[in-house]
Structure 1
Amino acid sequence: MKRPKVAVTGASGYIGSQLIARLLPEYDIIALSRSPIQEEPGLEWRYCDLFSLIQAEDGLKGADFAFYLVHSMLPSAHLTQGHFSDMDLILADNFARACASHGVQQIIYLGGIIPPGAELSEHLRSRLEVEECLSGRQIPLTSIRASIIVGARGSSFQILEKMVKRLPVILCPPWTLSQTQPIALQDMIELLAACLGRPACFHQKFDVGGPDIMSYMSLIQTTAEVMGLKRLILQVPWMSMRLSRWWLSEITRSPHELVNPLVESLKHPMVAQDLRLQEQLGIKGLPFREAVQKALIAQKQTPYKPLKTHSRFTQSLQFQDEIYPKDLKVVRSVQRLPLPQGRNALWMAEKYTIWLPRFLRLLVQVNVDENRICSFCMRGLRQPLLVLKFSPERSSLNRPLFYITGGILVSKRKGLMRGRLEFREVLKGKTIIAAIHDFSPSLPWFIYNWTQALVHLWVMEGFRRYLDSLDVL
């Protein structure tokens, strides 16, 4: 009998790898990752960069069910311009489109608990947007919302462990009195697996958590006790959120891009509204103290892989990724734009090609032909600076696509991924994400950062102002 085939994104991560081990006896697994590992019977690794719709479609071929375990808080190119929430939307939208094209029967998404009646942090708001994006393709979605997941090599747990290990005195600002409901990694894996192919879980949202509801201050104290460390934990009446983020990032040596959104979310009570899924399945969960003990033991047995470091530059991040050659610099630039009611992404792309020549007329000449090929030219130069070619075979009304096919500002190095510009509707047509992916400039990197990169941000901000000024009703 043919076994169902399950695709797991983030397969090399700490949750994805544990989930694959749990599912492998019963299912054939498609493990999607930018860092594929050696295969074994029933487990097929596929290289997949979810920023590419083509790769997402190839990666999900043959899948019956799919887990979405991806979160994009760290930069994804050497120069990343844009907010992590917009990156998250691109990843989720590509995943949902690919699932729809292959008839996937269910998507299971691991997100965060959403506190009722609160003004959400950027991190939690992004988690909610991803959930909405994944539900927009008529595929049954199961959303599992959790607070802190306590497991070896998990980002939140590593930050907690490092802080307790390195600080003999820990100052706790008022937000550490907020309540949270941590859950053990083992319990999280069992809940994810139990929802797979279960009709009662289709089109459902479940809060999950362990049996302990505690403040972050108590969480720190308990972790120190389990680690056998005597720590002086003092509550202080005031400490700004900005200072808290900087302090925690420096002490734990974790990227600011990872720490900042997480700390912002700690001001909210992250407590499950109900545990009906766990009650149905009979999974009460491990107490927090026991979950920490298991995580510490597992962490000692797991090889340490340090998080990538960063430095800020032109509102952006410098990034090293194993998928690109070390001497190749790659750019990703993402902006969220308003979409007037009743319009679509193709309309916006056409507006862009009409507006751009007028906006840049004092700097360069932009020629647009009947096939929507845009050539950026400068007087005195025989070759264009940049050429954008519209791709009708990969475009649709809600996602027109241009490939960056030439120009003296584009690297001529062979074997590069194709640079591209896209306009895509997200969140059921509420907004547009304009994005440049996999662009490799010919200019020296330092010069590019201070010239072409800044010009692109200026152009996109000008286009945003133009859209805001339109009366399209």
Structure 2
Amino acid sequence: MENKEPVVALTGASGYIGQNLMNKLTKNTKVIALSRNGDQYEDSEQVTWRSCDLYSMADAEKALEGADIAVYLVHSMMPSAKLTQGSFEDMDVILADNFAQAAKKQGIKQIIYLSGIIPEEASSLSRHLSSRLEVENILRAYGVPVTTIRAGLIVGPKGSSFPILAKLVKRLPFMLLPEWTRTKTQPIALADVLKTLHHSVGNEELCNRSIDVGGPEVMTYKSMMEKLADIIGRDPKMLPVPFMTVHLSRLWVRFVTGSPKEMVYPLVESLIHPMTVQKDHTHPVWSHGSTPFEEAAKDALEESGTRPKNQLFTLSPVRYDVRSVQRVPIPEGRDADWVAKYYVKWLEEVLNPWIKTEVDGNLGCQIGFVFNKTPLLELTYSKERSTSDRALYYITGGWLADNQKNIRGRLEFRKIPDKEEAIVAIHDYMPSLPWFFYKYTQAKVHLLVMTLFRNHLQKLGGYQSEGGGKRRQPTLMSLPIHDS
């Protein structure tokens, strides 16, 4: 890296880790602070705020303009629209892919990504850790050097895992301890994670590496809860039980802590994996945090206790918007652009005889009833924003769309890097139907149609038994859709 003061684009700058990291970065770097509500913050000499919706590739490109290094602190566990249909894993694919492509286009020299420790000996990973690894691979897919900092449980007053653990200890007079409470982990203080993230900026030695970080102690979740109880001054009775499955634990943890299921479920599912620093991903300096768990926990609990309880805040206007994201297979020899064109023709066939689709010379599409000239939806193909790996349509009309509010509504078909899979996503769609009616009619029909389409593509890539195994039938190149 050059010796000039770098410009760092920081995603999640208004979040807890982002705020703390920004305080460190601004001591020696200029920061472009990115947030969905960046226009609500004031710029300073070292910080320029930008509003950015990373679900939009155009927004991601504008956000990274002028930056040298980009820090990725993004996760999509929580819903991002009034109605969000789809898994957090598929949402994360879109966010990471937009970010990685934008970084490539804007000449970013390094991406720094905070992830979770990936236990290599596990036969299968939880959804949460599988998604973290998939995001890491996507960020690397376009050639920008990536530094991945992999941490287990981060001990801080906010975040996810540690506050949930603290709530369990505070609120329960006795605790049933499932098997996962005996899983080993290596908690690390927030301050130590921030130190490693900060020193990763511009550090060529760490480019294209995945570094595990952990504190000085390897512990079980049970031993962490016992230490937390001592710090708080409680003595809950703890009883190991063999019968509580991960699924029961998810319900139990959510009920006791009051945390949203979108956050609790994936995290609890990951607790079956040991989260300790692994030799193959160890750095002699930056892998080893120095803060003992007890000290880090005391600091976190103290800061949490001194935070104002009733802060004033302003409510944003309610947006009756929709984000619906599904993953489908791509038949062999085809691409995302083909899937998009095939979807339109398939939709007419599966809903025949009531639905018709018309495609114009510019690849725009109208979908409607055969007996009505006014389309249900009108889709305008964006030639300048589309490639073979991404077909983008703007929702520009139709009586199912609120044409006054539907400014950014779009439908995209996007290939996942290095996989024969595509993401089909509707973003920022504003329906014209009354919300309650839309939610339980049109939205449900869309999910049903996407399930049928996914199953149809799977059958097109049909497998045929051969000698106890399976092989793909070589019939896909003859599918009745013309490339253009």
In 2, are the aligned partners of 1:129 and 1:427 still within 8 Å (CA)?
no
TM-score, structure 1 as length reference: 0.92
- Cα drift, residue 57 of structure 1: 0.8
Which residue in the other structure is 1:404 paired with? 395
> TM-score with structure 2 length normalisation?
0.90
Please give the alpha-carbon distance, in whole angstroms, between the structure 1 residues aligned to 2:125 and 2:232: 33
CA distance in 1, matches of 2:58, 2:155: 34
Please state whether the residue corresponding to 1:30 is helix, strand or coil: strand
Q: Which residue number in structure 2 is paired with residue 28 of structure 1?
A: 30
Which structure has more relative contact order (CA 8 Å, sep 6+)? It is: 1
Residues 294 and 386 of structure 1, relative CA distance in 2, 3 Å threshold: same
Match of 1:342 among 308, 333, 344: 333
| Pairs within 5 Å for 1:119-138 | 119-138=124-143
Distance in 1 between the 2:348 and 2:372 partners?
18
Q: Tell me what 1:457 maps to.
A: 447
CA contact (8 A) 1:208 1:275 kept: no
Contact 1:388/1:402 (<8 A) preserved: yes
Shift of 1:283: 5.2
Instruction: Provide structure 2 residue ranges, at least 5 long, that are not aligned to the other structure.
Output: 461-474, 478-484
* Paired AA for residue 136 in structure 1: A
Structure 1 partner of 2:263 = 258
Matching residue of 1:295: 300
Counterpart Cα distance in 2 of 1:260 and 1:305: 28
CA offsets, 1:388-435, max 9 Å, x none?
Answer: 111101111111100000011101334x44110001111324311110
How far the C-alpha of 1:322 sits from its partner, in A, is 6.1
The percent of aligned pairs where both chains have the same amino acid is 49
Using a 3 Å threshold, how does the CA distance of structure 1 residues 31 and 305 change in structure 2: closer, same or farther?
Answer: farther
- Cross-structure match for 1:438: 428
| Aligned counterparts, 1:363-382, within 5 A | 363-382=354-373
The residue aligned with 1:87 is: 91
- CA 1:267–1:30 in structure 2 vs 1: closer, same or farther (change >3 Å)? same
Helix, strand or coil for the counterpart of 1:107? strand
Aligned-partner residue type, residue 155 of structure 1: S
Q: Say whether residues 1:330 and 2:317 are aligned partners.
A: no
> Counterparts in 2 of 1:140-219, with a 5 A limit?
140-219=145-224
Match of 2:72 among 49, 68, 71: 68
Letter in 1 for 2:293: F
Structure 1 residue 282: deviation in Å?
8.7
Structure 2 CA distance for partners of 1:3 and 1:301, relative to 1, 3 Å: farther
* Secondary structure of 2:103's aligned partner: helix
Greater CA deviation, 343-352 or 136-145? 343-352
Query: Helix, strand or coil: the match of 1:129?
Result: helix
Alpha-carbon distance in structure 2 between the residues aligned to 1:233 and 1:279? 37
Partner of 2:21: 19
Bigger mean CA deviation after superposition, 112-121 or 268-277: 268-277
For the residue of structure 2 that corresponds to 1:75, the secondary structure is coil
CA distance in 2, matches of 1:456, 1:322: 30
* C-alpha distance 196-211 of structure 1, shift in aligned 2 (>3 A): same
Contact 1:4–1:28 (Cα < 8 Å) also in 2: yes
Query: 2:11 aligned with 1:9, yes or no?
Result: yes
Match of residue 52, structure 1, among 51, 56, 60 = 56
User: C-alpha displacement at 1:39, in angstroms?
Assistant: 2.4
Partner SS for 1:143? strand
Provide the C-alpha distance between the structure 2 equivalents of 1:173 and 1:276, rounded to a whole number of angstroms.
29
Say if 1:357 and 1:367, in contact at 8 Å, map to a contact too: no
**Equivalents in 2 of 1:274, 1:208: separation in Å?**
11
Q: In structure 1, how many angstroms separate the alpha carbons of the residues matched to 2:359 and 2:51?
A: 36
* Deviation for aligned residue 1:34: 1.4
Q: 1:278: Cα distance to partner?
A: 5.3
Amino acid corresponding to residue 459 of structure 2 in structure 1: S
Deviation at 1:170, TM superposition (A): 1.3
> 1:275: Cα distance to partner?
8.8
2:468 corresponds to? none
Partner of 1:105: 109
Q: Give the CA RMSD over aligned residues.
A: 1.9
One-letter code of the match for 2:32? Answer: I
Within the alignment, does 1:419 sit opposite 2:409 as a pair? yes
Which of 119, 125, 146 is the aligned partner of 1:115?
119
Count of aligned positions: 456
